[in-house]
Structure formats: structure tokens, C-alpha cells
Structure 1
Amino acid sequence: AAFQLAEVSTSGLGRAYAGEAAIADNASVVATNPALMSLFKTNQFSVGGVYVDSRINMNGDVQAAVQNLAMKFTQYGSASERNVVPGAFVPNLYFVAPVNDKFALGAGMNVNFGLKSKYDDSYDAGIFGGKTDLTAINLNLSGAYRVTEGLSLGLGVNAVYAKAQVERNAGIIVDSVKDSQVQNALKGVDPQTVIPGYLTSKDKSVVSLQDRAAWGFGWNAGVMYQFNEANRIGLAYHSKVDIDFTDRTATSLEANVIKAGKKGDLTLKLPDYLELSGFHQLTDKFAVHYSYKYTHWSRLTKLHASFEDGKKAFDKELQYSNNSRVALGASYNLDEKLTLRAGIAWDQAASRHHRSAAIPDTDRTWYSLGATYKFTPNLSVDLGYAYLKGKKVHFKEVQQVGLIITTANYTSQAHANLYGLNLNYSF
């Protein structure tokens, strides 16, 4: 949940990513459990991606109140907006090469974390909405070693290339500062304030931060135990990754920095996570698989950016909680060429205490279908589809700029359609 992405493969999509740390369908094992590479007998290449068509709607109201000892002034507006998360393509690319009957190497590219939300530039609650964009491309190099006939271990290193953008606009605050009494009150508290003169339209930026090239590094490890060819379990761990973003043209109205030229810094703490999976081939044609995934989201308490002089550029309380994801799936080998899949999963929200319009989050239920068709013994295609249904949530956000306190009350509704396609080639 939150902005963690499960969409590492199309074969996994078809079973709601049940059994990911124990199934070796194709080279995408590099993304989840490197120990599974020990099961490969030939080189394999896999490329494709998943298109995520999100439908997230926000409904609610917003008010901007100016309060001091001498006056009280409130403006009211709408916090409603439809389709705040645009569609996105999540790519993947993997390669596995067995070195001998005990050792294998693998490399991959996928996206474990990402988010984009976009509200209209003149959105009344622009101080909460605006634009939020995070892309974290994971590059992975892994190795696997078969210790015994049943036990295999895997280890990998991760380099994460990230881009981030945070934009917040004035919105309804502009309607408040147009009043002459409000302007006098603001100047009375802070004679140097730039708020009245700067906020002339709702699309005026109050925060602007972006970094198009930041790196973070981590590692991953896995273990797989195969009781026999029909039954195995897998355990995989992915470490935390800290990414330091720097913007040398950052602006923030709260810090009275409205001209680009100052450096702003933000550290994003991506969580570590653990996944336990099982795979059981019950008959020659039918198999079941399952997963439990635990993500250490509590290490991400806030998004905080500051300038070199220590002034706050942006501060957003998140107070994320650790979350669980459980999945159950099945696969059926219709014949030598066609395999069918289905799965269901429940993904717990991480933002159970401090929800956000910029990072929509809710408990999600997955319903998935998929298939693999083998054109030849070496060439196959994976197709997958999933429908995600999010739980309706109600929450409130509050933000203060000077004497102006903006409050928005939201009801969020979410669902999504996911479409996957991958090509696999063995040689």
C-alpha cells in the first residue's frame, strides 16, 4: 500500500502476486527472491510491463480561516476532484544465466515504489493537492547458490535511480488575502511578509521542489527450500533505501523564498520488506500458491524539506504504520502450451492515521486473472489483468501559512484496472 508497487511481472499479476517468493515462472524472480534463480537450467530473458489505470476521486470541502486577536475571516471552497492519479506504465526487464548446476547470476530493472498525483492548477485545496511525482527505478544484480538438493540461497545489490517533484499551489488562500483587513493583519504580525503581494491567483506556487537525478543503494536476500519438485517455500528480504533529493531552485512561500536560487534538501526513507511464499503442485495440472508480505512503513514518519539555512521548505506528516499484504492464487496447465492463473489479495493501507490527498492510500482488494502461452518451447507470452477495489475513506487535512489556516475534509474513493504483458525467451 501507500506508494509501494507490487507490479514486478505479468505472470505474477495474473495470480495477484501470490507465491512470488516461491514460484519460478520466468526471469522475474530477480525482482523478488534471487534464490529461485538456482532452479533455472537455461538462460532466460523477460521484458514487459503493467499499465495501471487508476480511478481515484476526491470529494469534500475546504476552508481558509484567518484568525488573530482582532479578527476572524473565513473563505469556503470545494475540495472535490476526479481522477487525481493519472494512468502509468510500470516497466520490467530481467535476465537469468545459470553458470553451472549450483550457481546462477541475474540482473533486472523494475519499479518497486512510485506515485503520481495531479490536481488542477487552480484547485481550491491546492495546498494539499498540487502535483506529487515519485519514480524510483530499481536496478538489481543478483547471485544464487544451491547449497543442497533442496536448499538455495540468493543475494543481490540494488541501485535505485529516483526522480521526485512536489508542487503545491495557493488555491483558496488567494480569496482570503484579497481582503484588505486580512492584508493588514498579516503585515501587522510580519511586516516583511510577501503573502499579500505574491498571491494574486489560485495557481500561484507556494512550494516547488524537484530533483531529476538522485541515487540510493540497498540489498536483497532470499532463501528457497524445495521439499520435492511439487512443493517449495521461499523467504525474501529487501533492505531499506534512503534517497537524498536536492533542488537548487527550490521555492517555499512559508520560508519567504519565492524566487528560485536557494538549495532545498529532502531525504526519502523507503521501507524494507519481507515476503514469505509457498508453492504446491497438487496435481499434474493444478497448483496453489500463497504469500504474506510485511513492509516496514513506520520508518517513514514525514516528508520534510529544508533550505541550507535551516528554514523549513516543506513539511508533511505521514506517520505511516507497518502494513501487511496477503495473497492466494492458483494456476492450471490446460495443455503443454497454455497455463491459466487466478488470484485474490488484500493489501493493507500504510496511512491509517494521517491520510493525504497527495498520496491517496486505502485498503485494497485484488481480483486477478492471467495466462501464459508458449509459442515454442523457448518463446512464451504472459497476459494478466487485475481489478483493484479500494475502501472508501474519510479524512481531514490542516495546513497553516502565516495566519491562514486551511482545512479540507475529504472522502476518497478508489479503484483501478491493471493490464500486463511480458515476453519470455529461453536460450
Structure 2
Amino acid sequence: MPNLSHRRHHPRALSALACGLGLAISNAWGGGILIYEAGQEGNGLANAGAAALASDPSVLMSNPAGIAELRGTQLSANAQVILGDIRFSRGSNNQFAGNEGGNSLEYLPGSSLFVSHQLDERATLGFGMYGNFGLALDYDDDWAGRYFTQEAAVIGVSLQPTIAYQFTDDLSVGIGPRFMYAYYRTEMAINNNLLGVTDRPDGQLEYKDTDWGTGVNVGLLYKLDARTRIGLAYTSKIDLEFKDSPDVRKVSNPLLNAALNRLDVDTLELDMSVPQTVLLSIAHQLDDQWTLLGSLGWQDWSEFGDIGVEVDTDLAGTSRTVDRRYKDTWHASLGAQYQVTRKLRWNMGVGYDSSAVDDKDRTVDNPMNETWRLATGFNYQVEEGLDLHMAYTLVWLGDMDVEQTKSRSGNSLSGTYRNTALHIVGGGATWRF
């Protein structure tokens, strides 16, 4: 939960934080949506079977035990791009002037690298570098919701050394400490026309910082029979702490600057937890061509949720709001693989994630909703030691109504995100030595 550390006066930061800037700090598109698509072949399966399907080293991200199934040395390099269609439309109850913000997520690139090396018949080492947490929003500077947010981004890149051991012919166990480097940034406009002062241009507030956090991924993989495997994986939470003195510019309202006499705020500290997760997956080979896949998952977004900070003022005083009312989410997915030829494999999948917020608690700095995934892709064996893969995933969030109100001044931003969607295109190669 964030807190405001009390230090010496910082006049411009104090004036902004004291008087209704709507400083709302949260993970952009984080709640309820982890990025399952990190460029690997599983892109085309909507996360179905992710903890049970061990076809390349990228399995260590979903289940560290999976690399025990890989022979020799294998290297997988991947890249993907997220193309967004996230557009806000003002409603009849909106009380803020400005445009509708445009497409707040046009594109976001990413990449990943995984390697595994078999030490002997039982033990395998692995390493992964990947980004499966965080997205970003960037609205037009003069949009109607600029006093809530203009830009928000949180990006996490994980480094995960891994060891897996095959205790029996049927049971493998794996563990991987996870080191995440995270970047956080938010920017918003300052309303210089508060408390009766008019015709003044907006000011600006920017907050950014980086931090390292640590966690652990553990998992097991069990063969029920020659055709069926079950995977169970747990990912611990990762605690992150961002601490920065907000950069406040162009505050021209004398009443705002007078607020520094009532507050002593210089440094804003934000504590964030990347949620712990549990994933259960199954892979069942029907015959030489068809393999059926499924996954059930839980994500602990309720602990992540108390991270919002909003400072709002009227003539009666100042208030702060920190409760974002996040809740835990559930994931389910089904998929299949079809071996078209000896070299070509076709993947397909559908997935569902519940929303981390109720409709009444949705905010424009993190407009979350329940999501559906539709995915497809292919893997092609170029030669004995080289596979290529490509995939496409549609992440559908649909229509999302927003009614966000300043807690003391009472002004409301009202509207709808219509037909919201993300398009994820990825591909890569796996070398086997």
C-alpha cells in the first residue's frame, strides 16, 4: 500500500499533490491480465496446457519442471508486438472538457530468450529472460481525463535461472528464482482552474522510478500414462517499491501553491506486488496427430490492488484515496495441437480471464474487464535442429463503462471504451544441439 513520506517542503510538488490533481498510480492493464504471450510457441494456444506441454525451453516460464523433458541443449529466441485498440468515448454525464484521448495503446514490442542444458539423464539447467507483466497507456495530452492520467506504464523484465530434476520416469520437479527489473511511470495534467481560479493553462506532474524485485517459480510435471501429462506450477509474488519526488511544472494557481501550508509532502512511495499465481494444466495425446490441452489458473490480484493514490481538494479540506478494490481472478483455457505433416504442427486455443475489478470500480488509468483469448499459430521444423514458430492472439475486452469521480470536488469523468481489444503477433525460433 502506498504511503506519503513527510519531509521538507517541496513547494511545487506540494501544491500539486494537495489540490486535486487526481494522482492515480496503478499498473496499466496489469490487474487481471498477465501477458501469457511471450513469443514462444504457446502463443497460439491461449495458455492452454502451458504447465504440461514441454516442447521448448520457454516452458520454464510456466512450469520450471518442464525443462526436464528436453534433451541436449536447446535455445529459443522470440519476439512479439502488442497492437491495441483502446479508445474512450465521452458519455452524457461527463463534466470535463477535452477530446476523447485517441487510441491509448497503439503498439508495444517485446522479446524473450530461453535456454536449457541437460546435465545428465535426470538433471537439466535452464535460463529465461522474458517480460510477461505490464502494459502501457498513452492518451492525448488534452483529453477529457487528463486530470486522472495522460500516460501510465509499468514494464517488468524477469531473469530466471532454473533447475529441474526427474526423480522418477514419471515425476519431474523444477524450481527457478525470479529476478524482475521493473520500470514505472505516470504523467497527468494539473488543473490550475480549481477553487474559482479560471482561464489558466494546465500544469503537469510526472512520476517515474525503477526497482528490482525477487520471487520464485516452482512446479511439478507428472506422467499419468504414455499419452497424458499433468503440470502444476506456483509463482510467488514479487514486491516492488517505487520512490520518487514528483516532478511538478507550470503551477500558476496561487491557491494551489498556498496548499503547501497544510501538507508536508515531498516523496511519494509506491509499494506494488506482482501477484502470486497457481496454474494446473493437462496435455493428452489422442493419437499421432491430435493433442488436447487445458489449463485452470488463479491470480492473487487482491493483494496488488491497494496501490492507488488520489489527492483531491475543495474548500473544506483534502482527502486521499488508496483502495482500488481489486479482487482475485480466475483463468480457464482449452486448446489443441494438430500434426498436419511430419514437419508442420498447427496450434489453436481459447481462454477466459475474469476481471480484477467490478464495473463500478473501473478507472481510466487502468480500464480492466474480463477477457477472452482466441489464438492460433504453427510450428515448422526446418531441419533436425531448427524449428520456426509464429502465432496470433486476439485478446477481447469488449465494452467497458467508466464513471470516475473526484472524491471531494465531485466532478465526474463519464464514458465508455467500445470494442476494446489487443492483437498479439509473435514468432521465433528454437535451436537444438
Same fold (TM over 0.5): yes
State how far apart, in whole Å, the 1-side matches of 2:231 and 2:394 are: 26
The counterpart of 1:166, out of the listed 179, 186, 197, is 186
Letter in 2 for 1:351: V
Alignment of 1:213-224 (within 5 A): 213-224=210-221
Query: Residue 267 of structure 1 contacts residue 304 of structure 1 at CA under 8 Å; is this kept in 2?
Result: no
Q: Distance in 1 between the 2:200 and 2:239 partners?
A: 38
* Equivalent position to 2:292, from 288, 309, 323: 288
CA 317–117 in structure 1, closer or farther in 2 if over 3 Å, else same: farther
Higher relative contact order (CA 8 A, sep 6+): 2
Q: Which amino acid aligns with 2:276?
A: D
Q: After the TM superposition, which residues 53-92 of structure 1 pair with which residues of structure 2 at under 5 Å, given as runs?
A: 53-61=83-91, 76-78=96-98, 80-92=100-112
Deviations 1:218-248 (A, max 9, x none): 1110011012332100000000111011214
Match of 1:242 in 2: 239
Contact 2:101 2:142 in 1 (8 A): no
Superposition deviation, residue 262 in structure 1 = 3.9
Amino acid at match of 1:91: S
Alignment pair present for 1:412 and 2:410: no
Post-superposition offset of 1:108? 0.4
SS at match of 2:68: helix
Q: What amino acid sits opposite 2:163 in the alignment? A: G
Q: TM-score of the superposition, structure 1-length normalised?
A: 0.84
Q: Can you give the 5+ residue segments of structure 2 that lack an aligned partner in the other structure?
A: 1-30, 312-317
For the 8 Å contact 1:278–1:289, the answer to whether it is kept is yes
Which amino acid is 2:431 matched to? Y
- Partners of 2:290 and 2:108 lie apart in 1 by 33
What residue identity is the alignment partner of 1:53? L
Secondary structure in 2 aligned to 1:375? Answer: strand
Deviations 1:311-333 (A, max 9, x none): x9985542111111111100011
Larger deviation, residues 384-393 vs 76-85: 76-85
User: Which residue of structure 1 lines up, in the alignment, with residue 144 of structure 2?
Assistant: 124
Task: Give me the CA root mean square deviation.
Answer: 2.6
Relative distance call for 1:33 and 1:121 in structure 2 (3 A) is same
The whole-number CA distance in structure 2 between the counterparts of 1:27 and 1:313 is: 50
Distance 1:313 1:245 in 2: 22
1:109-157 deviation per Cα after TM superposition (whole angstroms, max 9, x unaligned): 1112112111111122212231101001111111111111101111110
Tell me how far 1:305 sits from its aligned partner.
Answer: 5.9
Q: One-letter code of the match for 1:390?
A: L
Partner amino acid for 1:117? L
Cα distance, 1:388 vs. partner? Answer: 2.1
Displacement of 1:77 in angstroms is: 2.6
Letter of the aligned partner of 1:236 in structure 2? A
Q: Which moved more, 1:52-61 or 1:236-245?
A: 52-61
Match of 1:391 in 2: 398
In structure 2, what is the equivalent of residue 193 of structure 1? Answer: none
Deviations 1:329-350 (A, max 9, x none): 0001112211111111112111
Runs of 4+ aligned residues of structure 1 deviating over 6 Å after TM superposition are 252-255
Alignment size in residue pairs: 385
| Corresponding residue SS for 1:405 | coil
Cα distance change, pair 217–314 in 1 and its aligned pair in 2 (3 A): farther
Q: Secondary structure at the match of 2:424?
A: strand
Give the partner amino acid of 2:362. R
1:152/1:122 CA distance change after superposition, 3 Å: same
> Out of 36, 43, 63, which is 1:33 matched to?
63
Aligned counterparts of 2:136 and 2:96: Cα–Cα separation in 1 = 27
CA distance in 2, matches of 1:305, 1:313: 10
- Amino acid corresponding to residue 113 of structure 2 in structure 1: L
**Counterpart-to-counterpart distance in 2, 1:149 and 1:378:** 25
The answer as to 2:46 corresponding to 1:16 is yes
TM-score by length of 2: 0.83
Deviation (angstroms), 1:423: 0.8
Partner of 2:329: 323
**Residue 182 of structure 1: which of 168, 171, 196 is its match?**
196
- Does the CA contact (< 8 Å) of 1:303 and 1:314 recur in 2? no
How far apart, CA to CA, are the structure 1 residues paired with 2:394 and 2:93? Answer: 35
CA distance in 1, matches of 2:54, 2:146: 46
Q: Deviations over 1:153-197 (max 9, x none)?
A: 111101110000011113xx45x44xxx813xxxxxxxxxxxx7x
Partner Cα separation in structure 2 for residue 132 and residue 93 of structure 1: 26
Deviations 1:387-420 (A, max 9, x none): 22213121311124xx643311121220122111
